[in-house]
Structures are given as C-alpha cells and as structure tokens.
Structure 1
Amino acid sequence: MDSPKHRRSGLLRAAPRLLTFALALGLTVLLPVSAASAHDVLTGTQPGNGQTVKVLPKAIELSFNNMPLAIGTEVAIEDAAGKNWASGEVKIVDNVVSQPLLPATPGGKYTVNWRVVSSDGHPIEGTFVFSAAAGGAGATSALTPESEPAADSSAAPQSPTSGAFPVSPIIGSFVVLLALVLALIVARYLRGRKQSHGSE
C-alpha cells in the first residue's frame, strides 16, 4: 500500500540521489568552462612597454607563458600617423612571437597592437608602446618582464574575444538548479506530511 509514510520514506531515500545528480551535472558544466577560461598570458615584450631604445631592433618580440598558435596571430607596429611598419609574416619560436620591422623604419614612438591565438584555441589581444631614438636595425636585447613598472597599462592582455562562456552565469544557473531540486524535495515532503495528518 502506497501510504503517505511510505511516500515520505521513499522521497527521503531519493533525496541524496537527486542531490548527487545535481552536483554531477554542475561539475560537468563547470569544469570544461574553467579549463577554457585559462587562456595564455603575455609575460614580456622587447622593447618593453614604455621603454625608449637607442636604435630600433630588427624585430618586435612578445613572450607568452605557452606557445601560441600561428594561425590568426598578427602584430601591427604603427607610428604616430598610423602607418604599419611590420615586415613579412609573424614568426613563432617556442613561446616567443617575433614580428620583423622594415629596414627603413625611422625612429619615433610606436604602438604595437597584437593579436595571437592562445594554445587553447582562443584569441587574446593587447597593446603596448615604445620609442626609438634612431631608426635602423639594432641588436635584440633580453625580454622585459611585464611585471616591471610600465608607462602604459594597456600592455596587459585584453580579455579573449572568442566568445568563451562566462563562468559567473554558469555558476548562477547551477545554484538555481540546485535550489529547485531542494525546493522540490521539501515541497513533496511537506505535501506528504500534510496528507498524512489529514488521514489520521
């Protein structure tokens, strides 16, 4: 006989299974999103952001914590008038992206706009500036860590624009789902308890 007492007992026994299912569903959704949000980051540039060099280097270099993908990677080196002095294709060796300059590039202030495809497949982008007292091809120096004081905070990588899922709404949806499951359990328990009292 399916009495209210038996229904309450079955509901209470099913509660842990429902909670386990809700948690498993939440983890299934959240773990891939968390992994996808761990994009590569810029760790240094040459020349450094805000730095003034005596002579222009042969190439502008950007260093990342992982090796970026070649497809979709672009680096523009623009002067004050907006002319791009980048020459040829971007080169990637290990985790360093190198963009050659035209041999006739003059001295002056330059803005580097870069966009690379992170090792996880998502694009990241950013901007930094530097100045050169003289044009020509100079020797390449060591990378300047981004942690050093910089004149322009825009050197930090911008958020990926690939349409990666934001984590906060997913967490909110999971909390709502869990709350609905708990509300369903409580509602069925109270309804069974009310029916039990009514039958006494």
Structure 2
Amino acid sequence: MMRKISLGLLAILCLILSAPTSFAHGEIVTSYPLRDSTSSPAPTQVWIEFDGELQLIDGEVVNTLKVTDSTGLVVSAEEAIIEGSRISSQISDQSVGGVFTVEYRIVSEDGHPVEGSYTFEASPGFEATEMIEPTTVATAPDNQSELSIGAIVMAVFLVVFAVRYFIKMRNEKRDEKK
C-alpha cells in the first residue's frame, strides 16, 4: 500500500515539475540604443527585441513605444512598427540632445501585458546612419533558472527514491534468506 502511495506521489511530482510554465512575460533580449548607453549622434530609430512574438489584436493598439527627449517632448512616431518579436519607432530630428526615455507597453506571447522604460543619452544632431545591430548579448530570462531548479529538485527526488527503493529491496532479500 505504501508503495502505491509513494509511486502516486512521485508521478504527481513529476507532472508538476515537468509541466511547461510561462514565467517569462516579454523579457527584453536587446535594444537599440542599449539601456544606459550613449549615442553620438542621436539615433533616427529606436527598437526593442523581446524574447517572444508580440501579440497583434485587430483594431486595438496593444503594443506601444514612446520616446521622449530631455525636455519632455515626444520624439517618436505615433504608431510603433511591430515585426515578430521587435517593436520599433522612428525618432524625429527636432529633438535636443541629452537623456532620452524609452517607454514601452507590449502584450507578450503568453498574453500578459508588460510595461517598462529605460534611458539612453544622445548628443544633439541626427544623422541618417545605417542601423547597426548591437553585439551585446543579454542574459537569459529568469524562467530558465526557475526551470533548472525544478529539474534539479525532480532529479534529487528521483535519486533519493531510487536509493530508498534499492535499500528496501536488498533488505527484503536478506529477510527471505533468513
């Protein structure tokens, strides 16, 4: 009887720990310009790449990107461009240099809205330059570490269960020989 209960609990634990989870809610993979970076001259476009496809809902604006300059003037286009997991916007050349604030609101692949902001600094003057992809690699989203912890817990539990099972079997064989 105890064996059936143990096996049932083990099966339930395995199902819980191996079930796909959605811990990530639109994590930023990279952006241009990068957070807290300095750009000279000021960029003509801002974009953010997320770890999953952005949701598009017909007739509704659910993904937004707003860039303001150091005077508080909104310098981004009214509507952002959505391409897969990237949101982007052109920047007006009417801005002064200084600290720019990028504010975003997206609906991530799992349907959760995500909001955030970051800043970068830029010198005055805009030059139409070819868009360069940053080479900085972002850290992995937190969901990977959480899934790894679940896998480790499951592996430890399985090892303990297996050791306990083999000890019990060995003791039963000893008892049969006596």
Q: TM-score, normalised by structure 2?
A: 0.60
> Do 1:62 and 1:98's aligned partners in 2 also have CA atoms closer than 8 Å?
yes
Match of 2:132 in 1: 142
27, 30, 51: which one aligns with 1:41:
27
Q: Which has a greater percent of strand?
A: 1
CA contact (8 A) 1:103 1:136 kept: yes
In 2 relative to 1, CA 157–144 (structure 1 residues): closer, same or farther, beyond 3 Å? same
- Whole-Å Cα distance in 2 between the matches of residues 102 and 93 of structure 1? 21
Distance 1:59 1:29, change over 3 A: same
**Residue 8 of structure 2 corresponds to residue 21 of structure 1:** yes
Cα separation, partners in 2 of 1:139 and 1:70, compared to 1, 3 Å = farther
Distance 2:11 2:74 in 1: 51
Map residues 81-96 of structure 1 onto 2, 5 A cutoff: 81-96=71-86
The runs of 5 or more residues in structure 1 that have no matched partner are 1-13, 149-155, 160-166, 172-200
1:22 is paired with a residue of what secondary structure?
A: helix
2:43 matches 1:53: no
Judge conservation of contact 1:126–1:158 (CA < 8 Å) in 2: no
The alpha-carbon distance between structure 1 residues 38 and 26, as it changes in their structure 2 partners (threshold 3 A), is farther
Aligned to 2:113: 123
Q: Post-superposition shift, 1:110?
A: 0.4
- Give the 5 Å matches for 1:152-171: none
Residues 68, 116 of structure 1: 8 Å contact kept: yes
> Partner letter of residue 67 of structure 2?
I
The structure with the largest alpha-carbon Rg is 1
SS at match of 1:55: coil
Give the count of matched residue pairs.
144
Whether the aligned pair in 1 keeps the contact of 2:98 and 2:122 (CA below 8 Å) is yes
For 2:130 and 2:45, locate their aligned partners in 1 and report how far apart those are by CA, in whole Å.
8
1:99 aligns with 2:86: no
Provide the rounded CA distance (Å) in 2 between the counterparts of 1:157 and 1:83: 34
Could you tell me whether the CA contact under 8 Å between 1:88 and 1:100 is conserved in 2? no
Cα distance, 1:88 vs. partner? 1.9
The answer as to whether partners of 2:65 and 2:89 remain within 8 angstroms in 1 is yes
Aligned residue for 2:40, secondary structure, equals strand
Q: Which has the higher helix share?
A: 1
Q: CA deviation at 1:142?
A: 1.6
- Structure with higher RCO (Cα < 8 A, 6+ apart): 1
Structure 2: which 5+ residue stretches go unaligned? 151-178
Identity of aligned residues (%): 22
